[in-house]
Amino acid sequence: MIVLVWILCLIGFSQLYRLNIYVIAFTNITAILLILYLPIGIGWGIIWNTLFEKKDSGIVTQMRTIAIVFLVLTGVVTYYFRIKDFEPQRAFMTDADKAAMEWIKANTNQEAVFGVNTNFLNPTMPYGTDAGYWLPVYAERQTTALTLLSSLSDDYQFELERAKAISEFYKTGDISLLCDYGIDYLYSGAKDPLGSADIIEKIGTQSGVSLIYDRDRVKIYRICER
């Protein structure tokens, strides 16, 4: 019963974003699906322990057999699915992107903010759709995409609105909105974005925008000269 309540509470937490109160929208359904392994695993442990502690009897023996068969079948089926789970299109990083990020690390200010190709998992969870998502790891630079823990930041509301500016840019191509949010560069990775348009499609020939890196399909634009 406790495990069931635990699972229901976790699912409830994942839906708090629907209230549009960012303080309590501290997680999302993706994080909940990951953490559900814990209560489900503990629940199975309790069932297993209960079955094998009971004295032998006809019904208990049958239940043990069912539990063992179910466990083996579940393991075989889920193993098959897991080894087929790798999706190359979601492996955003390439050698070209890594080289570009090394260049970024050596040639841009540590406080620079990069606009990256973005989509929204839900209204409060923007994520990167190409290798630009990895800029904080490989180049140690801020981006307009967020992480699962971003909602704990004091600047979360501003960062969320900044990410939404990228979505607006896809529609309007208005660079000034990005400048208002302190975005210094735009990054487009070697692979096509998965789940969004490409940010460079709206660049055109706008003034105040310069292409500063163009190698192996990776493009970096300097915008909002200050």
More confident residue, 104 or 90: 104
Per-domain boundaries in the chain: 2-83, 89-222
pLDDT level of residue 221 (50, 70, 90 thresholds)? very high
Distance, in Å, from the CA atom of 115 to the CA atom of 217, rounded to the nearest integer, reads 17
- pLDDT given at position 112: 94
Question: Taking CA 168 as the corner, what is the angle to CA 166 and CA 170, rounded to the nearest 5 degrees?
Answer: 75
Q: Which DSSP string do the residues of 27-60 spell out, in sequence order?
A: --HHHHHHHTHHHHHHHHHHHHHHHHHSPP-HHH
Q: What number is the average pLDDT over the span 60-66?
A: 79
Distance, in Å, from the CA atom of 206 to the CA atom of 203, rounded to the nearest integer, reads 6
The H or E element spanning position 145 is: none
**What's the mean pLDDT when you consider all of the chain?**
85
Nearest to 187 by CA among 141, 218, 145: 218
Spatial contact of 145 and 133, defined as CB atoms under 8 Å apart: yes
pLDDT level of residue 193 (50, 70, 90 thresholds)? very high
* Main-chain phi, psi angles of 20, to 5 degrees: 60, 35
Spatial contact of 199 and 166, defined as CB atoms under 8 Å apart: yes
Token pair 């993706």: residue = 30
- Residue 22, pLDDT > 90, answer no
pLDDT level of residue 205 (50, 70, 90 thresholds)? low
Spatial contact of 222 and 210, defined as CB atoms under 8 Å apart: yes
Half-sphere exposure of 121 (CA within 13 A, CB side): 18
DSSP 223: -
Token pair 């495990």: residue = 3
Spatial contact of 97 and 190, defined as CB atoms under 8 Å apart: yes
- pLDDT given at position 121: 82
Q: What number is the average pLDDT over the span 177-190?
A: 93
DSSP 130: S
Spatial contact of 186 and 199, defined as CB atoms under 8 Å apart: yes
